[in-house]
Structure 1
Amino acid sequence: MKIAVTGGTGFVGHALTKEFVQKGHEVFILTRKMDVKENKKQVTYVQWLNEGDRPWEILEDVDVFINLAGESINSGRWSKNRKKRILKSRISATNEVEKILSRLQKKPEVLIQASAVGFYGISDSETFTEDSREAGDDFLARTVQQWEATAHNAEDLGIRTVYCRFGIILDDTDGALPRIALPYKAFAGGTVGSGDQWVSWIHLKDVVNGILFVAANKHVKGPVNFTAPNPVKMKEFGQTLGKVLHRPHWIPAPRFALKIALGEMSILVLEGQKVLPQKLLAHGYTFLYRDLKNALEDIY
């Protein structure tokens, strides 16, 4: 297959590209800057988001388009300006993807659009599946709603569209896990906040395999929860991590201290939602890592 990827040099994009190349696919990575990029076997860099760029001329025959572009929500305190950048980066990139798709004579079979479980808002008591239609009302939920709504235009072009609502993606190189694990490695790990908040997690390998699965399965469309079947509460997450790292779980991180340190961004660790991957399971996807302990043991 020919696969176009925005955000291809990021956390998930890098892992996807590596897997695609290993499986013999041809990958086109869209990038704003070309000065340090060199094309490799099976990997072609395509410039976009600059005045005068015409990426559609190179992407005419792609089979799958994957949009992962957007400023990281973990990149710093959520000031008013940073929140504007987080939203604008996602909307602008997705609008540009729509522009590319509209100009292609031969449309890709599927657009796989990054999204997040933040769509559902926060809750300690509810369980969310793709059938949960009501969105939350915090900053993340509103951002995801607008992000998905922008990508919805691809459906009007006759392109099957999948919204990957990612949970907390686990890997030792990037994402939330290295930050969570750091206190444990220093023998200072413990319960974060109340410990009752849900952590809907997924191993990076299941993210990669899951994206390959939905790309190949023509019956999968719309929102798809990318979370493991067994979410856990934060206290259990920390206890399990401590056991895997052979470190104590004993020094708590109080809610008030995290709010002072992180501001509004503290919602990422102090709040959560219990999200189940109903659609992936219903279509026959087999998770490599269903349980947290097995996932963490593989990573560490």
Structure 2
Amino acid sequence: MLISGGTGFVGSALTKHLKSLGDEVYILTRKERQSQAQGVNYIQWMGSKEPKLPQIDAVVNLAGESINGRWTDEKKKAILNSRLKVTEELLNLVGKMPQKPSVWINASAIGYYGTSETQVFTEQTEEHGSDFLAEVVKAWETKAKGAESLGIRTVLTRFGLILGRDGGVLPQLSLPYRFFAGGTVGSGDQWVSWVHIDDVAELIRDVIENAQYTGSVNVTSPHPVTMREFGQATGDVLHRPHWLPAPSFAFKLLFGEMSMLILKGQQVVPEKAQKLGFHFTYPHIKGALHDLLQ
């Protein structure tokens, strides 16, 4: 398995999962790094420098500038260009391989669909949103589809809000509850299409093994919730009250345009994974939060 962005939040969880299954993992890095675990190999890769690799069965492209932080013009440029640049370099690398991998899995996001409080989005939804994140996702997916021209099965994994113990947004969203100050964020009616980090890793592995996965794949729980329901579940799990609202203007003041990730949402369901028989370990929000917060 060849992974770009393998040291990040999702990449680390995926590497751990693949290693537990006996897979050999090669992680492309910009800086030299020594591996401290058997089965995990760090390969320094500077684009022009050709890394020494064995035959690769699957490529997982997760690399890109973090979307966390205020979306200044410079930040927006870095978010878009980093994804396009790494994907292009990785395509060039794979294109030179005498025997191509069987599958290319590209990170993407449900931000592709735009936001709505009423519409339900599945992989069959063709129209995309018009906001910044939707445009980034569309451009990134278009670039990643270059793997198809190499004869490689290409899958675009559209991640929802990924919940984990030490990464993602859950530590920040749950922190007010720990201080008895939790409550509904924004209107509370916005949808949260969430997914447990363990299910992310397991679904990516299922995509690698099952050749029926092609095109876009929503990586979200089958049971999205509203932000109000998310907050109430967090309070219940932590045995804290859900009472102090967090107004929209405060989030907009703190995070600027990035606040849309929390204040707006979309109801996304993983129709393709369900039809192909994938079993979610954490399909419901309370079970996921029990595992992650206790």
Band of TM-score, shorter chain: over 0.9
State whether structure 2 residue 41 is matched by structure 1 residue 44. Answer: yes
Q: What is the one-letter code of the residue matched to 1:88?
A: N
Report matched runs for 1:1-300 at 5 Å: 3-34=1-32, 36-38=33-35, 40-50=37-47, 52-55=48-51, 58-74=52-68, 76-300=69-293
Alpha carbons 1:166, 1:227 under 8 Å: kept: yes
Alpha-carbon spacing, 1:116–1:207, altered in 2? closer, same or farther (3 Å): same
Q: What is the one-letter code of the residue matched to 1:8?
A: G
Q: Return the TM-score normalized by structure 1.
A: 0.96
Query: Identical aligned pairs, as a percentage?
Result: 52
Distance in 2, Cα, partners of 1:287 & 1:49: 37
Structure 1: state its 5+ residue gaps: none
Q: Return the TM-score normalized by structure 2.
A: 0.98
Distance in 1, Cα, partners of 2:184 & 2:127: 30
Superposed displacement of residue 37, structure 1: 2.6
Q: What is the one-letter code of the residue matched to 1:66?
A: V
Q: What is the one-letter code of the residue matched to 1:142?
A: E
Alpha carbons 1:94, 1:151 under 8 Å: kept: yes
Q: What is the one-letter code of the residue matched to 2:276?
A: H
Q: What is the one-letter code of the residue matched to 2:40?
A: V
Distance in 1, Cα, partners of 2:138 & 2:181: 37
Other structure's SS at 1:65 match? strand
RMSD, matched Cα: 1.0
Runs of 4+ in structure 1 deviating by more than 2 angstroms, as ranges, are 36-40
Alpha carbons 1:116, 1:167 under 8 Å: kept: yes
Superposed displacement of residue 40, structure 1: 4.0
Could you give the per-residue CA deviations for residues 85-143 of structure 1, whole angstroms, max 9, x where no partner exists?
01111111111111111111100000010000000000011000000000000000000
Superposed displacement of residue 60, structure 1: 4.6
Alpha carbons 1:60, 1:104 under 8 Å: kept: no
Structure 2: state its 5+ residue gaps: none
Superposed displacement of residue 84, structure 1: 0.5
Other structure's SS at 1:161 match? strand
Other structure's SS at 2:46 match? coil
